[in-house]
Amino acid sequence: MARKSFGIGLIGSGFIARCHVFGYRQMPVAFPAVKGVPRLEIVSDVTTDLADRAASQFGFARSTSDWRKVVSDPKVDIIDICVPSQLHREIALAAIAAGKTVYCEKPVGLSSAQAKDMALAAVKAKIKSIVGFTYLRNPLLRLASEIVADGTIGEIVSFAGIHNEDYMSDPDAPFSWRCDASVAGKAGALGDLGCHIISIARVLAGEIVEVNCDLRTVYRQRKLADGRLRDVENEDEASALIRFASGAHGTVSSSRIATGAKMRVGFDLVGTRGALRFDGERLGELQLYTRDADGARSGFRTIYAAPSHLPGGALLPGPAHGISFNDLKTIEIRDLVELALGEASPGPDLAEAARIGAIVDAMLESGASRGWATPQF
């Protein structure tokens, strides 16, 4: 039976857009049972040259330097937003008004207020949305939430989450849009990285109701392309104490200057009867501890990502055969296509992104006031 095709309009053709394209290309082969497929219709970037180059490298039929033409294109069903945060809201609202499904990159807008605007507009217009909290697509994190739900590790006691990378650890790394509050938002490491681990914390341990956060900008100025120095407008690192609605507590820390850390998105989840550990630098491994009777042989054991964790999928050829970031994007594209088909979606949608944003905003507020803050959902 022919698979229904959905026209993709991609806006932005930088780092993450390329990962989306890997997903679009892999998904039909990796998930043969899915009843829909993406069709690479039109891509845009700021100049005609950049847009044309993206179309030819990525395999899009057409290109434009005007994102509005992507949104109004009758052959486009899904608007894929891969631009910096300051443009998310305007593009998403236009896409919602045009009746298109919205696929937006995290963190979604410059603030939780912007994300909330987008979420409310989507609900009002009955528009479906999905957000690129990519690590949630890892089948091992889905397994982790099943392990929590079936009681294997008992009641959750604490969650210690981290998302550290070192892409700005070199003091001479140039000023980028990620350091500009008007483009990336007031949250630096928290907006870029911390939101991912918050998304995981919420899935595994529930609602976060209070935060107490310390923020630090270590490298206060960075060089522009012309050699002048410009002030960095958001934090390099953040460390927060967190309290969950369940009474569990824990930490969330995030740094973009953590020398040596390439993809340290991970957690220690402690329960009354067992524990889970995950480290994004070992994307295909989940550590499970369950207490045995006399403790003589107790210890964490490794669960490897396996085909059985991805029903109906052919992404993993065998257990422990490796899973990559682009594979997670491929799973995200499967979730997107199923959403467009009208099937049940695992989210997260724009509303969930607004809730994650509210926690980030509370962390910023706490960092400024040096006290506890409550996320305003």
Ligand X SMILES: NC(=O)c1ccc[n+]([C@@H]2O[C@H](COP(=O)([O-])OP(=O)(O)OC[C@H]3O[C@@H](n4cnc5c(N)ncnc54)[C@H](O)[C@@H]3O)[C@@H](O)[C@H]2O)c1
Contact positions vs ligand X (CB under 6 A): 11-17, 44-46, 50, 67, 82-85, 87, 105-106, 132, 134, 192
For ligand X, which is the closer residue by CB, 44 or 330? 44
Bond prior to 174 in cis (omega within 30° of 0): no
Decide whether 84 or 348 has the Cβ nearer to ligand X. Answer: 84
Name which of 38 and 348 has its Cβ closer to ligand X. 348
Question: Rounded to whole angstroms, how far apart are CA atoms 63 and 46?
Answer: 11
Residue 74: alpha-carbon gap to chain centroid: 29
Provide, rounded to whole angstroms, the least separation between the CB of residue 370 and ligand X. Answer: 28
> What HEC string does 59-96 produce?
CCCEEECCHHHHHHCCCCCEEEECCCHHHHHHHHHHHH
- Spatial separation of the C-alpha atoms in residues 273 and 296, rounded to whole Å: 16
Select 83 or 258, whichever has its Cβ closest to ligand X: 83
First to last CA, the chain: 44
Q: Between 177 and 376, whose beta carbon lies closer to ligand X?
A: 177
CB of 97 to ligand X, least distance (A): 18
* Contact assessment for residue 51 and residue 63, using Cβ atoms and an 8 Å cutoff: yes
CB of 70 or CB of 240, closer to ligand X: 70
Nearer to ligand X, 104 or 153 (CB): 104
Beta strands in the chain (DSSP E): 4-11, 36-44, 62-64, 78-81, 101-104, 129-131, 156-164, 208-216, 221-223, 229-231, 237-244, 249-255, 264-271, 274-279, 285-290, 301-304
- To ligand X, the closest distance from the beta carbon of 45 in angstroms equals 4
Shorter beta-carbon distance to ligand X: residue 12 or 266: 12
- Shortest distance, position 147 Cβ to ligand X, whole Å: 24
Structure tokens that stand for 322 in this block: 């490796």
Nearer to ligand X, 63 or 287 (CB): 63
**Taking the complex as a whole, how short is the minimal distance between the CB of residue 357 and ligand X, in angstroms?**
12
- Between 13 and 253, CB nearer to ligand X: 13
User: Side-chain half-sphere of 2: how many Cα atoms within 13 Å?
Assistant: 3
Q: Minimum Å distance from CB 87 to ligand X?
A: 6
What is the closest distance, in whole angstroms, from the C-beta atom of residue 256 to ligand X in the complex? Answer: 12
Smallest distance from ligand X to CB 184, Å: 8
Instruction: Give the nearest residue (CB) to ligand X.
Output: 14
Q: How far is CA 225 from CA 172, 221, 230, in A?
A: 12, 13, 10
Rounded to the nearest 5 percent, the helix, strand and coil shares of the chain are: 35, 25, 40
Radius of gyration (Cα) for the chain, nearest Å? Answer: 21
Which residue type sits at 48? T
Residue found by looking up tokens 């962390």 in the block: 363
In this structure, what token pair is assigned to residue 8?
């993709």
**Minimum distance, C-beta of residue 34 to ligand X, in the bound complex (Å):** 21
State how far the Cα of 25 lies from the Cα of 20, in Å rounded to an integer. 9
Nearest distance, CB of residue 30 and ligand X, angstroms: 18
Which positions ≥6 away from 217 have C-beta within 8 Å? Answer: 188, 232, 234, 235, 236
